[in-house]
Amino acid sequence: MRQALLAAQAAGDLPPFELPPTLPIQRSARPELGDYASPAPLQLAKLARRKPLEVAEIIVRHTPHSPLVAAWEVAPPGFLNIRLDETWLLEQINTIIAAGDDVFALDIGRGKRAQVECVSANPTGPLTVGHTRNGVIGSTMANLLRALGYDVQMEYYFNNAGRQMRILGQSLQARYLQTLGQPVPLPEEGYQGEYLIQVARDLVKQYGDTLKDEGWERFKVEAEKAMFAWIDRSLARINIRFDVYFNENSLYEDSSVWKTLEALEQRGYVYRAVLREGAGDEERAKLPPDAKEAVWFRSTALGDEEDRVLVKSSGEPTYVLPDIAYHVNKLERGFDYLINVLGADHIVEAQTVARGLTALGYDASRVHVILYQFVTLIEGGEQRKMSTRRGEFVTQDELVDDVGADVVRYFILARSPNSHLEFDLDLARKQANENPVYYIQNAHVRCAGIFRQAAERGLTDDGADLSLLGARERDFVRKMLEMPEVLLQSYEELAPHKLAFYAHELARLFHPMYDEVRVLHSDVPPELAKARLRLYGAARVVFRRLLTLMGMSAPEVM
RNA sequence: GUGCCUGUAGCUCAGUGGAUAGAGCGCUUGCCUACGGAGCAAGAUGUCGGGGGUUCGAAUCCCUCCAGGCACGCCA
């Protein structure tokens, strides 16, 4: 279209004017008018000082011929409608089947290295539904990046050095002694969940009472081991696997935390003060008289509202400093494209890290943050607030036990990360049999069923004449061909939910077709059956690809 | 108070500058000689939170107000 406009200007049919950087073209909202549509003439009318319809006609006149396009048509008030060439369209069925499991792979990444960091829950307990949302979003993006030609690594970042881990160790110690019959109370703010009792019992089984004089540190190690084993198993159940577990502590061991601080200081982003620069009287008044100096990050120089503390007056770093050091580490490892999946409450953290990277001269735009809103659990019509420490939560395992891994993944994926996820447990349990998940998976099952039956009857799609396929089948092919566009959009907008919606839309075209377009029916002539069989072969490939990208199973039978 | 997210059908949510705003669930009415019916066909349901503006064109962009969630620590 750009060529056509330039040609028209060269020929004097349109006055010279600068073309906008992109010309809009999208899937037609009205399929009967064409496959793709562009409102470009409406936009260009003013620049060209011609009526939109005239612009449209001029564009059509100067458009070069393409084998993909059968016709360019002009529609009032100034739309350009584009119709795909039918022969090309039908040929895509063969292209899809030939591509198989790699169908619609694009090489956007060109082998560049990408990393997805997600879940990253500290090993203080079982995963909750909030972590599940994090992991499902992250792992789906990882799958998507692989399909787009990136070399992808999944990373889990954790901290096993903090106060919470100490309390966990002490809690396990108490549970262990309790299991041995000693009336030891849980520490204050200890972890009350049942799961520690089970870990304690396992310890007694393994070690007897030989650990009774050990300190809490020993129990921390045991607790961490047990928690990670649990976390791994839970994640594997919903198709999430990590390549790297990165311990925050290693950033202290190789002193990169302090190197990061030095680098920031060298670049003039650090100062020492009791109070941040620009603090108001209120903050000043709250300050204790014996307050000591802290180390501050001058993030306001990079647009922040206020400076942030890097090192407390106690000499201990805040979470901000190691977090910046961690991201420096990631970038230094040579990743070109990073995704970081975070709950919405971490927004300030994400911004501060980005500013830290900018301050250090790194390209912060390589770090893509997906912030997701909270998961609310509804049970018995009431919200359930979650607290890991009190042991009041619905774990991922409970949820998966209830409704199945595929349902959990789909429920989460079928919502924009920006949207609060209201997970009605009762409904999810009740609806387990009447769920969009099964609707989509059943499309794949039905394809598989046709091929099973065809094999029994000795029917193959050898020599299929695709031109025999009717309008309904062709519409389905058009829909399948939207998939690359969906993949690209999901990637560019960090919007994995688009996959879920597309999968459902495709299934919604599939089932009516399946009902009407039979393969193995007595009044379907053999030639037609072959063509249809091949079409269903392509459908099977596409559904399998979609389900796999979403981390769901593609069953052969229900 | 300030910042971010959200407000679309009875409920849960898509759609973020284009033509007549869409799905699922629920509701109504049909369809079983079934390549696994977890299906198909038909139907009802909307002040796109309110108001103003920009534009040839606004659910979508801007302003403002209202409502809900989250964040505003020398906690992680």
Q: How high is the pLDDT of residue A299?
A: 94
* A window 125-154: Cβ near strand B (< 7 A): none
Q: How far is the CA of A403 from the C1' of B38 (A)?
A: 14
Q: How far is the CA of A545 from the C1' of B22 (A)?
A: 25
Asked if strand B comes closer than 7 Å to A28 Cβ, the answer is yes
Burial of A265 (0-12, 13-18, 19+ CB in 10 A): middle
Average pLDDT, chain A: 90
Tell me the helix, strand and coil percentages in chain A, rounded to 5.
50, 15, 35
Asked if strand B comes closer than 7 Å to A81 Cβ, the answer is yes
Q: How far is the CA of A512 from the C1' of B42 (A)?
A: 14
Q: How far is the CA of A415 from the C1' of B17 (A)?
A: 23
A73: nt with nearest C1' to CA: B19
pLDDT at residue A145 above 90?
yes
pLDDT at residue A391 above 60?
no
A26: nt with nearest C1' to CA: B18
Q: How high is the pLDDT of residue A236?
A: 97
Question: Kindly report the CA angle at A502 between A40 and A406, in degrees rounded to 5?
Answer: 160
Asked if strand B comes closer than 7 Å to A389 Cβ, the answer is no
Identify the CA nearest to A370 among candidates A144, A124, A123, A102: A144
Q: What is the mean pLDDT of residues A98-118?
A: 94
Q: How high is the pLDDT of residue A380?
A: 63
Q: How far is the CA of A534 from the C1' of B1 (A)?
A: 64
Q: How far is the CA of A363 from the C1' of B53 (A)?
A: 38
Asked if strand B comes closer than 7 Å to A558 Cβ, the answer is yes
A33: nt with nearest C1' to CA: B19
Residue nearest to nucleotide B6 (CA to C1'): A419
Residue nearest to nucleotide B7 (CA to C1'): A419
Query: What confidence tens digit (pLDDT) does each residue in A502-520 have?
Result: 999 999 999 999 998 999 8
pLDDT at residue A403 above 90?
no
pLDDT at residue A209 above 90?
yes
* CA A495 – CA A487 distance, rounded (Å): 9
Q: How far is the CA of A489 from the C1' of B17 (A)?
A: 17
Nucleotides of chain B in contact with protein CB (under 7 A) are 2-7, 12-20, 23-26, 35-41, 56-57, 68-76
Asked if strand B comes closer than 7 Å to A414 Cβ, the answer is yes
Name the E strands within A323-365.
Answer: 337-343
* CA A337 – CA A115 distance, rounded (Å): 6
Are A168 and A195 within 8 A, CB to CB?
no
Asked if strand B comes closer than 7 Å to A442 Cβ, the answer is yes
**Residue A204 confidence class, pLDDT cut points 50, 70, 90:** very high
Query: What confidence tens digit (pLDDT) does each residue in A51-75 have?
Result: 888 888 888 888 888 888 888 888 8
* A window 526-555: Cβ near strand B (< 7 A): none
* CA A417 – CA A296 distance, rounded (Å): 33
Q: How far is the CA of A411 from the C1' of B28 (A)?
A: 28
* Cα distances (Å, whole numbers) of residue A281 to A55, A273, A293, A294, A309: 64, 16, 18, 18, 19
pLDDT at residue A121 above 60?
yes
* CA A185 – CA A172 distance, rounded (Å): 11
Give, rounded to a whole angstrom, the gap between the first and last alpha carbons of chain A.
47
Q: How far is the CA of A48 from the C1' of B76 (A)?
A: 59
Question: Kindly report the CA angle at A175 between A171 and A176, in degrees rounded to 5?
Answer: 115
Q: How far is the CA of A248 from the C1' of B29 (A)?
A: 62
For the question of whether the overall pTM of this predicted structure is more than 0.90, the answer is: yes
ipTM rounded to 2 decimals: 0.94
Residue nearest to nucleotide B12 (CA to C1'): A422
Segment among A70-79, A347-356, A483-492 with least mean pLDDT: A70-79
pLDDT at residue A359 above 80?
yes
Asked if strand B comes closer than 7 Å to A71 Cβ, the answer is no
> Nearest 5°: phi and psi at A334?
90, 20
According to DSSP, residue A392 is labeled B
Asked if strand B comes closer than 7 Å to A4 Cβ, the answer is no
A40: nt with nearest C1' to CA: B18
**Residue A435 confidence class, pLDDT cut points 50, 70, 90:** confident
* Cα distances (Å, whole numbers) of residue A419 to A78, A92, A142, A379, A501: 36, 36, 21, 19, 15
Identify the CA nearest to A143 among candidates A480, A555, A547: A547
Q: How far is the CA of A470 from the C1' of B8 (A)?
A: 36
**Taking the C-alpha atoms of A546, A549, A552 and A553 in order, what is their torsion angle to the nearest 10 degrees?**
70
Asked if strand B comes closer than 7 Å to A512 Cβ, the answer is yes
Are A321 and A269 within 8 A, CB to CB?
no
Asked if strand B comes closer than 7 Å to A42 Cβ, the answer is yes
A447: nt with nearest C1' to CA: B35
pLDDT at residue A195 above 80?
yes
* A window 203-232: Cβ near strand B (< 7 A): none
Q: How far is the CA of A137 from the C1' of B23 (A)?
A: 21
Asked if strand B comes closer than 7 Å to A557 Cβ, the answer is yes
